[in-house]
Amino acid sequence: MPELPTPRSLSGPLVWSEQSLRNKDEELYKLKLTSNEISDINTSLEHFKALELDLDQVSPATFPLGGLARQLQNVAQSVHGGLGFTVIQGLDMAQYSIKDSVIIFLGIASHIADKRGYQDTKGNILAHITNSKLWNVPMEKRHGIHSNKALPPDSSSLPCHQPFHNDMGCDILALQARHGTCAGGCICLSSAWTAYNRLLDDEPDVLQTLLAPNWPVQISGHHSRYYLAPALAMHGGKLMTSLDPNRFGRHAASTHADIPDLTTGQRHALERLFDVAMQAEVRLKLETGSFLFLNNWAILHRRDAYEDDESTSRHMVRLWLRNSQLGWAIPTRMLPPWLAAYGDGLQRASPIYALHPLTTYIAPKYSAGSAAFVMEDSDESDGE
pLDDT over 60 (residue 367): no
pLDDT at 324: 97
- pLDDT the model gives residue 252: 72
Q: Is residue 52 scored above 90 in pLDDT?
A: yes
Which amino acid would we find at residue 341? A
Q: What confidence tier does 368 reach under pLDDT thresholds 50, 70, 90?
A: very low
- Given a cut of 90, whether residue 55 has pLDDT beyond it is yes
Domains in the chain with CATH codes:
18-342 (3.60.130.10)
* Tens of pLDDT, residues 83-139: 999 999 999 999 999 999 999 999 999 999 999 999 888 889 999 887 755 556 655
SS3 14: coil
When pLDDT is cut at 50, 70 and 90, the band that residue 313 belongs to is confident
Q: Are 31 and 87 in contact (CB under 8 A)?
A: yes
Picking from 101, 84, 102, the residue whose alpha carbon sits closest to that of residue 92 is 101
Give CA separation, 104 vs 93, 127, 286, 323, in Å: 10, 16, 17, 18
pLDDT by residue (tens digit) across 138-195? Answer: 555 555 565 556 554 444 343 334 579 999 989 999 999 997 666 656 889 999 999 9
Q: Is the dihedral of CA 11, 71, 127, 178 positive or negative?
A: positive
Q: How confident is the model at residue 383 (pLDDT cuts 50, 70, 90)?
A: very low
Q: CA separation (Å) from 148 to 132, 151, 179, 253? A: 10, 9, 13, 22
Residue pair 19/191 in contact (Cβ under 8 Å)? The answer is no
How many CB atoms neighbour CB 69 within 10 A? 18
CA–chain centroid gap for 135, Å, is 24
pLDDT beyond 70 at 37: yes
Note whether 217 and 247 are within 8 A (CB): yes
What per-residue confidence (pLDDT) applies to 370? 47
Distance (Å, rounded) from C-alpha 139 to C-alpha 132?
Answer: 10
Count of Cβ atoms closer than 10 Å to residue 310 Cβ: 6
What would the pLDDT profile of 220-273 be if each residue is shown by its tens digit? Answer: 656 668 899 999 999 999 999 999 887 888 877 776 668 889 999 999 999 999
Q: What is the mean pLDDT of the chain?
A: 85
Q: How far apart are CA 98 and CA 91, in angstroms?
A: 14
pLDDT of residue 138: 57
CA distance 184 to 319: 23
Q: Tell me the C-alpha to C-alpha distance, in Å, between residue 75 and each of 84, 107, 207, 249.
A: 9, 14, 31, 36
Three-class SS state of 43: helix
